[in-house]
Structure 1
Amino acid sequence: MKIAILGYGTVGRGVAQIIEERVPEVEVARILELPDRLTDPRMTPNYQDIVDDPAIELVVECMGGIEPAHTFILQALNAGKHVVTSNKAVVAAHFAEFAEAASKAGVGLLIEASVGGGIPWIASIEKVRRIEDVQSFSGIMNGTTNYIVYSMLKDGADFAEVLSKAQELGFAERDPTADIDGIDVRNKTIISASVAFDVACTQDLPVSGIRNLTKYDLSLFGSRDLTVKLIGRGVQADGRYAVSVEPVAVSTSTLEANVPTNFNLVTLDAPSIGELKFYGQGAGSLPTGNAIVQDILDCVAGRRPTYDFSRGLVYDPAMLHGPYVFRTEATIPGAKFYEPGAVIVDDLTATQARALLDDALKSDPTTFMAAVSANS
């Protein structure tokens, strides 16, 4: 099969390397690249060269961002070409649109690499769904934030110091907003819920990050044998579902609490299979490239995933609720003492907790909030 790669950055190069070294049945025929970076005879700055080439059966999109990725993916699908993408932002924003276009054209839309890097997360959800509903999922879906928390604990370092180190190592972008404010996990949570629950997951979910996390917060929770992880999670039952992204205080005895450096750990739960956990590299050139090539090989073998979002689940934020801790100088309605400088509210939905956080940030911009895990 002849394919084209859109974008030749970290992931695109990883895809090409794996194919050239290990997958003789696939040929990288064209590469879309900027006009001033045409270092390979297969490269073109003109996407139409790819869309109009009948020999190219599949397009790998790993450019990132919403546009022009959104337009390019739709054009490829409408032209009868399969699409494999690692772009979680564009899939989260346009999943239903892409799925409909792929169905109409009779081509494959494969998205394994958009969540969890090299972890076979989407494929595992799809296998479980062949037999039964996924009741819930949760996990550490962002290696940057996990590296930050892990390093703060290990080295006793400040947030800013660890973030700077993560940027030096390539674990964090120059602009870390998407990671530390939970936007990256938000996109992955939307995609996970859409696949797990057969629903066009709401874009309007409560999202909180770890921007205000301090050494004191980790010490505060540590005194209660807890640590903090940024968790994306979802639950569904009885025609309803809920999703959230937020720091969660988990017991130090859990697997989640002990995930090191930039690794990911994601979990799903279903009635007959029970709890399944998947651990591995959630990003990077070769892990993500591996997931993309797995999708390409599935497509070569004739696999065409279908996504049906007509189930009609109702979004109900009350399904995700529990105690929340606020480290703040602001006044939190209904709160009780937790630790010096911190209070706890016993039962809030994730949506209510995010609203309280927003109010607290107005008077104390350093406020940090974390849900307390039910298993803690």
Structure 2
Amino acid sequence: MVQKKVLKVALLGLGTVGTGVYKVLRNQETEMMHKLGCEVKIVKILVRNLEKAAKKVEDSSILTNDWESIVSDPQIDLVIELMGGLSPAKEYITQALEAGKHVVTANKDLVAVAGKELLDTAQEHKVDFLFEAAVAGGIPIIRPLKQCLAGNHITEVMGIVNGTTNFILTKMTQEGMEFQEALDLATELGYAEADPTADIEGLDAGRKVAILASVAFHSRVVFGDVAIEGITKITATDIRYAKEMGCTIKLLGVTRNTEDGIEAYVNPMLIPSDHPLASVNDSYNAVFVHGDAVEDAMFFGRGAGELPTASAVVGDVFDIARNIQFNCCTRISCTCYKDFPIKKMEDTYNSYYLRLQAEDRCGVLAELTKIFAENQVSISEIVQKKTRSNGLAEIVVITSRVREGDFQTAVKFIRELKRVEKISALLRVYQK
């Protein structure tokens, strides 16, 4: 039975994504009654600068800088939070939920830290809290994990979940650019922020991995549980050697549910060039899911941007609108009913790529292999790539699948060798 003819919405923030949501909802106006049985109407937009925001909307009377006028308005059914950051976003969302208002957000920073708390608050007050846009922009992944793939025991979720770093690595791979050159281009084209730290250091991807792990494995994983390494140390040399090995370097977010606990990390990794993720280029994202019933499934698309992210936000808004119409809100709230331990990074297993500079003398390779053997690190391949004019040889080592802690101990001893000048690169090699 239809309960409402107009769903009244307040939008918090009119930046890139907020403007996109405003546009998408206006573009859907003629379709809403057919899709939802009601109209979704933005009646308030919270902004900092009223004059600046007035240029983005047709009716400036809906603009306000007074949060209290939104949270205390009983006519407003739903709040869309697109301000970002932890505060005051968390306070506003909490107050909205406690006031009986449904909430949609794209705030990965907040969900990765306080998602359970907010979901519990929503459940307590019998309203929905949805966050599809918090991971991978326009790519549907949260709802598929909670609904379409609910019949699976998911054992791994991994993928490319940051468009900026993927654009940079694509340019380094396809055009031979060094890191700084590719970053400068990404900034010029608008793919990188003026301060790109959250992207290039892997922090953005780490937040998304925490959310994906929590949803996929039904056990709480927060941002601080994710081991993170960015792409700032990747060089054109490593890209070239990876190609020679039949691999591509990508910044991957990986989370696995193992017998010993949940693994969650973000690292630049070598991935076989025939893997579907290896062909995901530029600013595109892709998430690869492995379940016991579905086996492998990949979700691909734009991971960020005004309209792709707005697409995910509006999808959540429409889902809530349908729930309200049929009085079935909070159908799926917090799904973390398990309590798995989080594995330390040192207890994970991977293969490794190690590139180092050492004196070009007899016995160096023997010293290296001796250290690896003493630390239970099996070598799959060791190659001397070239000798420089300064008498240093470049050596590349590929290990078999070994424990991270054992490998790092071996690397520590290798750094102390007098005949090793420096370790130039250390990367993981993705293996299923």
Same fold per TM (> 0.5)? yes
Q: Are the counterparts in 2 of residues 112 and 120 from structure 1 also a CA contact under 8 Å?
A: yes
Q: Tell me what 1:8 maps to.
A: 14
One of 274, 277, 284 as aligned partner of 1:256 = 277
Unaligned runs of 5+ in 2: 1-6, 33-38, 55-59, 324-328, 359-366, 386-393
Q: Is 1:51 the equivalent of 2:108?
A: no
- Quote the Cα distance in structure 1 between the aligned partners of 2:20 and 2:316: 14
Would you say the 8 A contact 1:142–1:282 is kept in 2? yes
Given candidates 96, 120, 127, the residue that maps to 2:147 is 127
Q: 2:297 aligns to what? A: 276
Q: How many residues align structurally?
A: 375
1:207 aligns with 228
Kept in 2: contact 1:129–1:196 (CA 8 A): no
Equivalent residue number for residue 87 of structure 1: 107
TM-score of the superposed pair, with normalisation by structure 1: 0.91
* Structure 2 equivalent of residue 174 of structure 1: 194
- The one-letter code matched in structure 2 to 1:235 is R
Aligned residue for 1:160? Answer: 180
Distance 1:135 1:125 in 2: 12
Taking structure 1 as reference, are residues 350 and 256 closer, same or farther at Cα in structure 2, changes over 3 Å only?
farther
Say whether 1:343 aligns with 2:397.
yes
Question: Partner amino acid for 2:40?
Answer: V
1:240, distance to aligned residue in structure 2 (A): 2.6
Match of 1:373 in 2: 430
Asked if the contact 2:105–2:134 (Cα under 8 Å) also holds between the matched residues in 1, the reply is yes
Structure 1 residue 117: deviation in Å?
0.7
CA 33–345 in structure 1, closer or farther in 2 if over 3 Å, else same: same
Distance change (3 Å), C-alpha of 1:217 and 1:147:
same
Structure 1 residue 222 corresponds to structure 2 residue 243: yes
Structure 2 counterpart of 1:314: 341
- The amino acid across from 2:256 in the alignment is V
Give the deviation of 1:316 after TM superposition. 2.6
User: Highest CA radius of gyration, 1 or 2?
Assistant: 2
Q: For the Cα contact (< 8 Å) 2:111–2:211, is it kept in 1?
A: yes
Unmatched tracts of structure 1, length 5 or more: none
Distance of 1:309 and 1:251 partners within structure 2: 33
The percent identity for this pair of structures is 33
Alpha-carbon distance, 1:136 to partner: 1.0
Do 1:119 and 1:280's aligned partners in 2 also have CA atoms closer than 8 Å? yes
The offset of 1:67, in angstroms, is 1.3
From 37, 40, 45, the equivalent of 1:31 is: 45
Structure 1 residues 111 and 355, CA gap change in structure 2 (3 angstroms)? farther
1:238 shift after superposition:
4.1
Q: Against the structure 1 CA distance between its residues 42 and 367, is the aligned structure 2 distance closer, same or farther, given a 3 Å change threshold? A: farther
- Which secondary structure does the structure 2 equivalent of 1:301 belong to? helix
Offset, 1:319: 7.1
**Pick from 199, 205, 225: which aligns with 1:185?**
205
SS of equivalent residue, structure 1 residue 209: coil
The SS at the match of 1:260 is coil
Shift of 1:130: 2.8
Deviations 1:104-159 (A, max 9, x none): 11110101000011111111111245323211111010111111111112222121
Whole-Å Cα distance in 2 between the matches of residues 179 and 358 of structure 1?
A: 28
| Aligned equivalents of 2:162, 2:286: Cα separation in 1 | 9
Q: Deviations over 1:206-254 (max 9, x none)?
A: 1111111111110111111111001111111447321111111011112
Q: How big is the shift at 1:74?
A: 1.1
Pair 1:20-2:26 in alignment: yes
Tell me the secondary structure at the aligned position of residue 5 of structure 1.
strand
Q: Which residue of 2 aligns with 1:323?
A: 351
- 352-361 or 277-286, which moves further after superposition? 352-361
Q: What is the CA-CA distance between 1:347 and the residue it aligns to? A: 4.0
Query: Once the 2 structures are TM-superposed, how far is the Cα of residue 45 of structure 1 from its aligned partner?
Result: 1.2
Residue pair 1:117, 1:281 contacting (<8 A) in 2 also: yes
- Please state if 1:76 is matched with 2:82: no
Corresponding residue to 1:245 among 257, 266, 272: 266
- TM-score, structure 2 length as denominator? 0.80
CA displacement, residues 155-183 of structure 1 (integer Å, 9 cap, x when unaligned): 22121111111111111111111111110
For 1:321, give the aligned amino acid: Y
Q: Report the RMSD for the aligned CA atoms in angstroms.
A: 2.7
Change (3 A) 1:93 1:364: farther
Structure 1 274/319 Cα, relative in aligned 2: closer, same or farther at 3 Å?
farther
Q: Residue 343 of structure 2 aligns to which amino acid in structure 1?
A: D
- Partners of 2:176 and 2:291 in 1: CA distance: 38
Aligned partners of 2:183 and 2:104: how far apart in 1? Answer: 31
1:294 to 302, 306, 315: 315
Equivalent runs, 1:90-109 vs 2, <5 Å? 90-109=110-129
SS at match of 2:228: coil
The one-letter code sitting in structure 1 at the alignment partner of 2:341 is V
Change (3 A) 1:359 1:84: farther
Please give the alpha-carbon distance, in whole angstroms, between the structure 1 residues aligned to 2:87 and 2:410: 34
Aligned AA (1:312): D
* C-alpha contact (below 8 Å) 1:243/1:320 kept by paired residues: no
Structure 1 residues 269 and 155 mapped into 2: Cα distance closer, same or farther (>3 Å)?
A: same
For residue 149 of structure 1, give the secondary structure of its aligned residue in structure 2.
helix
